[in-house]
C-alpha cells in the first residue's frame, strides 16, 4: 500500500500530490481565463460588434464569480469537496464552449457570467481542498505554489490571449479550457476521494438568494455608476440601496438560521474577524489602487502600455518571493503573527511612497516600491488563509475559507468603484476651466492624450497625476486600519495534522 501522507488519514501521499496538482490546474484555468480575455476584447468587439458592451464581458464574469464563492464554500461543507469541485469544473468547461460559440456580444456576456460561476467555484475549492489535505504547519509552502500559480496566470494570460488572436481566433481562449478542464476533472475524480462526516442540515436557500441579490446589485450599481448612469441617478442609487438592504437582511437571517450560509458566530473568532478585515483592506487599498496604476504610468509618466506592464510585473515577481518566504517561515517555525504584523507595515510604507510621485517622476522609481508592496502581499495573502483555516473547525472550513476569498473580491470591487468615482471627480475638477476636453473619452482612450496640443496635454497629465495622488491618500488610512488591527491577532499554534486526519475522515474510492 502507498505511504500515507504525513498528517493525513486514509489518503496516500501520491493521492495528496495528485489532488494538489489537479487543483492547481483547475485554479490556473479560472485565473488565466480572465487575463487572457482582456487582451482579446478589441478583436472580439470587431467580430461581434457592440463595442459599448465590452465592459460587461468582464463585469458579468466578476458578478458570477463573486456571487458564487460563498455558496461553494458552504455547500462543500455539506455535500463534500469532490462533488462541488466537479460541479465547478463542469460549469466552467460547458460555459467555455458556449463562450467560444457565441455569435453576438450578449451571448458572450451571458456565457461569461455563467463561466464566472464555475471560475469562482474553482478559486474557492482550490483553497478549501488544500486546507483539507495539508496540515496548517506545512500548508504555507503549498500556499506559495498557489500564489505562484496566480502570478504565472496574470503574467502569461495577456500573452496567451494575444497569441490566440494573432495565429488562430479569440475563440481558442475558451476552447483550450475543454481538454485542460477534462484533465483536471479526471485528477479530482480519481484522487479526491475522502468523505466529510455526514450531518443533518437544512439548506439556507433564502440566505443564498438574498446574498446573490445583494452582491449582484452592488456590482451592477458600481459598474453602471459614472458610465451608463450618474452616481445620483435613480438606477444607481436604487441598486446600491438594494445592496445595503440585502446586506442587513442577510445578517439578520443568518443569525437565526440553523445552518447558515455564512455562520455569524465565526465573527466571534478574533482570528477570523481580523483576517477578514485584512482581506477587505488589501482589496481596497492595494488591489483597487493598482488597477489605476497603468493609467498613471501611461499618461502622467509617458510610458507605453508594454513598459507599464513590465514595471507592474516587478510586483508579481515580488509576490511570488514573498509567498515562498512566508511558506518557509510558517512551516519551519509554526508561527505566523510576526509575519502578519510586518506585511501590512511594509504595504503601508510602499503606498505612502506613491504619495511622493507626480508627473515629473521617473517611472522606474516605482519598481522598488512595487516590489516592496508585492513582497508584503505575497506574505499576507497565503498567511491570512493559513491562519484563518487553522482557527476553524472542520465543519466550518469550507464556509470560512470561501469567506476569505469573497471579502477580498468584495473589497476590490467596492474599491475600484469608489476609486474610479474619485478619480473622475478629481480630474473633472482640475479640468473644469479647460474647454473642449471630454474626461470620459480621454480615460477610455488614454493613447489619444499623446495627440493633444502640448500645453493642453501637460494640463491633462497633471490632472491625472493629482487624481492618482488623491487615491493614494485615501488608500493610506485604509491600510492603516489593518496595521493597527493585526496587533490584536492571537497566535494559535499551527496544527501538525490535516483537517481530514483530525476528524478521522475516511478515504472512500466510491465517494
Does one domain contain both 210 and 266? no
**Cα of 58 vs its chain's centroid, Å:** 13
Q: Are residues 86 and 33 in the same domain?
A: yes
- Specify whether 263 is located in the same domain as 238: no
Strand-pairing partners, residue 160, are: none
Q: Tell me the DSSP string of 247-271.
A: HHHHHHHHHH-SS-SS-GGGGGSHH
Judgement on whether residues 221 and 317 belong to the same structural domain of the protein:
no
CATH number at residue 461: 1.20.1250.20
Does residue 402 sit within a domain?
Answer: yes
One domain, residues 376 and 239: no
Last residue of a domain, one of 225, 258, 291: 258
Position 432 scores a pLDDT of 74
Q: What is the reported pLDDT for 436?
A: 60
8 in a structural domain:
no
507, β-bridge pairs: 194
Residues 308 and 244 in one domain: no
- Give the total number of structural domains in the chain: 2
Cα–Cα nearest to 81, from 306, 394, 485: 394
Whole-number pLDDT of residue 281: 95
46 & 26 share domain = yes
Record the cell numbers describing residue 235, joined without a space: 438606477
Burial classification of residue 103, based on how many CB atoms lie within 10 Å of its CB (0-12 exposed, 13-18 middle, 19 or more buried): exposed
Instruction: Please give the pLDDT value at position 134.
Output: 84
Calpha distance 305→404 (Å, rounded)? 32
Nearest residue to 468 (alpha-carbon basis) of 426, 415, 416: 426
Q: Is position 5 within any domain? A: no
Question: What would the pLDDT profile of 135-164 be if each residue is shown by its tens digit?
Answer: 888 887 788 788 788 777 877 777 787 788
In a domain, residue 7? The reply is no
Domain that residue 292 falls in: 13-201+259-502
Please check whether residues 226 and 173 belong to one and the same domain: no
Under DSSP, is residue 197 helix (H, G, I), strand (E, B) or coil?
coil
Task: Kindly state the cell numbers that stand for 437.
Answer: 476636453
Domain match, 350 and 398 both: yes
Q: Please check whether residue 496 lies inside any domain of the structure.
A: yes
Residue 492, C-alpha cell as written in the block: 494559535
Q: Residue 99's pLDDT is what?
A: 92
Three-state secondary structure call for residue 194? strand
Q: Which residues of the chain have pLDDT under 70?
A: 1-11, 39, 50-52, 54, 196-201, 226-228, 305, 433-452, 498-511
* pLDDT recorded at residue 247: 93
Q: Do 370 and 228 fall within a single domain?
A: no
Within 176-233, residue ranges assigned H as helices are 177-191, 205-224
Residues 162 and 218 in one domain: no
Tell me the CA distances in angstroms from 277 to 142, 407, 412, one per residue in order.
24, 8, 13
Asked which of 243, 258, 273 is the last residue of a domain, the reply is: 258
Cβ-count burial of 480 within 10 angstroms (0-12 exposed, 13-18 middle, 19+ buried)? middle
Kindly state whether residue 507 falls inside one of the protein's structural domains.
no
pTM for the whole structure: 0.83
191 in the same domain as 218: no
Amino acid at each position: 500500500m502507498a505511504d500515507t501522507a504525513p498528517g493525513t488519514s486514509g489518503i496516500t501521499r501520491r493521492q495528496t500530490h495528485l489532488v494538489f496538482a489537479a487543483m492547481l490546474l483547475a485554479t490556473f484555468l479560472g485565473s488565466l481565463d480572465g487575463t487572457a480575455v482582456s487582451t482579446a476584447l478589441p478583436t472580439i468587439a470587431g467580430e461581434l460588434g457592440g463595442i459599448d458592451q465590452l465592459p460587461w464581458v468582464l463585469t458579468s464574469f466578476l458578478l458570477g464569480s463573486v456571487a458564487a464563492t460563498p455558496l461553494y464554500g458552504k455547500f462543500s461543507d455539506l455535500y463534500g469537496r469532490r462533488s462541488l469541485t466537479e460541479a465547478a469544473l463542469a460549469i466552467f468547461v460547458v460555459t467555455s464552449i458556449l463562450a467560444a460559440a457565441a455569435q453576438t456580444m450578449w451571448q458572450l456576456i451571458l456565457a461569461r457570467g455563467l463561466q464566472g460561476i464555475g471560475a469562482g467555484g474553482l478559486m474557492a475549492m482550490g483553497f478549501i481542498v488544500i486546507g483539507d489535505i495539508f496540515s496548517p504547519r506545512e500548508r504555507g509552502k503549498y500556499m506559495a505554489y498557489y500564489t505562484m500559480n496566480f502570478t504565472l496566470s496574470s503574467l502569461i494570460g495577456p500573452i496567451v490571449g494575444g497569441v490566440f488572436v494573432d495565429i488562430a481566433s479569440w475563440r481558442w481562449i475558451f476552447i483550450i479550457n475543454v481538454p485542460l478542464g477534462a484533465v483536471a476533472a479526471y485528477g479530482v475524480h480519481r484522487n479526491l476521494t475522502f468523505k466529510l462526516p455526514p450531518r443533518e442540515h437544512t439548506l439556507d436557500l433564502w440566505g443564498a438568494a438574498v446574498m446573490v441579490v445583494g452582491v449582484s446589485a452592488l456590482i451592477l450599481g458600481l459598474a453602471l455608476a459614472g458610465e451608463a448612469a450618474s452616481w445620483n441617478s435613480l438606477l444607481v442609487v436604487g441598486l446600491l440601496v438594494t445592496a445595503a438592504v440585502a446586506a442587513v437582511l442577510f445578517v439578520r437571517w443568518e443569525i437565526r438560521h440553523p445552518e447558515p450560509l455564512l455562520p455569524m458566530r465565526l465573527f466571534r473568532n478574533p482570528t477570523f474577524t481580523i483576517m477578514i478585515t485584512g482581506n477587505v483592506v488589501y482589496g481596497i487599498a492595494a488591489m483597487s489602487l493598482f488597477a489605476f496604476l497603468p493609467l498613471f504610468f501611461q499618461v502622467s509618466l509617458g510610458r507605453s502600455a508594454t513598459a507599464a506592464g513590465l514595471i507592474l510585473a516587478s510586483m508579481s515577481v515580488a509576490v511570488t518571493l514573498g509567498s515562498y518566504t512566508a511558506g518557509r517561515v510558517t512551516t519551519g517555525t509554526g508561527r505566523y503573527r510576526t509575519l502578519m504584523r510586518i506585511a501590512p507595515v511594509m504595504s503601508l510604507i510602499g503606498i505612502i511612497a506613491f504619495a511622493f510621485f507626480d508627473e515629473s517622476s521617473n517611472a522606474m522609481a516605482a519598481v522598488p516600491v512595487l516590489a516592496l508592496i508585492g513582497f508584503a502581499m505575497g506574505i499576507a495573502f497565503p498567511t491570512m488563509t493559513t491562519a484563518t483555516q487553522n482557527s476553524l473547525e472542520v465543519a466550518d472550513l469550507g464556509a470560512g475559507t470561501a469567506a476569505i476569498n469573497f471579502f477580498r473580491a468584495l473589497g476590490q470591487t467596492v474599491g475600484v468603484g469608489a476609486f474610479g468615482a474619485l478619480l473622475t471627480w478629481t480630474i473633472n475638477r482640475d479640468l473644469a476651466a479647460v474647454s473642449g476636453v471630454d474626461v470620459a473619452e480621454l480615460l477610455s482612450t488614454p493613447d489619444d492624450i499623446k495627440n493633444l496640443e502640448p500645453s493642453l496635454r501637460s494640463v491633462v497629465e497633471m490632472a491625472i497625476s493629482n487624481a492618482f495622488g488623491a487615491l493614494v491618500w485615501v488608500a493610506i488610512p485604509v491600510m492603516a486600519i489593518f496595521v493597527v488591527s493585526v496587533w490584536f491577532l492571537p497566535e494559535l499554534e499551527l496544527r501538525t495534522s490535516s483537517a481530514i486526519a483530525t476528524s478521522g475522515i475516511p478515504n472512500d474510492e466510491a465517494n
